[in-house]
Amino acid sequence: MTRNFRSPEDPLFEGAQVPSMSRRHFVRSATVGTVVIALGGAGYCLAGQEDEKKARATLRPDGRPRLPPGQYLLNRIRPMGGIEGDPSPGSWRLQVAGEVETPYSLDLTELHNMAQVDQVADVHCVTKWTVLDAKWTGVKLAALAARANVKASARHVIFEAFGGYTANVRLAEALASNVMLAHKYEGQPLARAHGAPVRIVMPDLYFWKSAKWITGIRFTASDKPGYWETRGYHNHADPWKEERYG
C-alpha cells in the first residue's frame, strides 16, 4: 500500500490545504492582530498578541504555561489528514491486545455503552498551532485498559490506526485521566478528516500521538517507535520541552 503521510513541517501535512499567504507571513500575522484565513473551505481565526500573552501567563495545575513555547493560537482544530479509514460506524472495530490478561475487541455500539465522559482539553500540534478548550466526548483509555486487565509487564502503549499508522506512548501517560477515545468533537460526531468514527486524544503530547482512525490499542513490554518517530520526530513529544525532533 502506498502511504501518503507528510512531514509535520509541510503545510500539506495531514491533508490541510495551503493557505494563500506564506507560512512565515501566516505566523507573523498572529502577532499584530486577528487574522482569518481559509483552510479546507472554513475560516480559522488566529488569536492576537494579547490573547497569546494571556495564555502564556496562565498556568496549568502542573505549573506549566497554558500555551507551550513556539505555539500560536487557532480557534478550532485544523482538518488534518493522512490515510483516511472507513468512517462507517457499523464497520468500526477496536482490538485491545498485547500484554493483557483479557484481550478483546469491541464495536462502536459497545463503546457507546461504556461510561461516557465530556472533556475540555487543549490541543498542541507539532506544526505549531494550539487550540484551547477543545470539547471532546468519549471513553477514558484507562477504562479500556481496566477491562483488559493490563499485565504488570506492560510499559508502553502502541496506538494502531488505519493504513499501518502507529504512535507509541508511555503506559503511565496513556492511562492519565485526560486521555480518551473520542467519537465527538464540539458536540458533533467526528468528521472524517478528524478521524471518524473514533480517535485517540492525548492532550499533553503533540497531536500526532493522538492517532486518528484508530483500530487497535496494544500494550507492550518494550517501546516500539511509530510512523513519525522512525522518521526523525521525537519519541516522546512533550510540547513544553519542544520535543519535535529526535
Domains, the chain: 13-241 (3.90.420.10)
Give mean pLDDT in consecutive 10-residue pieces for the chain, a chain of 246 residues.
Answer: 41 34 38 40 64 89 94 88 84 97 98 98 96 97 98 98 96 98 97 95 97 97 97 97 94
What is d(CA 162, CA 158) in angstroms, rounded to the nearest whole number?
Answer: 13
- pLDDT for position 88: 87
**Which cell goes with 65?**
504555561
What is d(CA 243, CA 207) in angstroms, rounded to the nearest whole number?
Answer: 12
Helix residue ranges, H only, the chain:
23-29, 49-57, 108-113, 141-148, 171-174
Would you give the distance in Å from CA 56 to the centre of its chain? 21
pTM, entire model: 0.83
Question: Other C-beta atoms within 10 Å of 22: how many?
Answer: 11
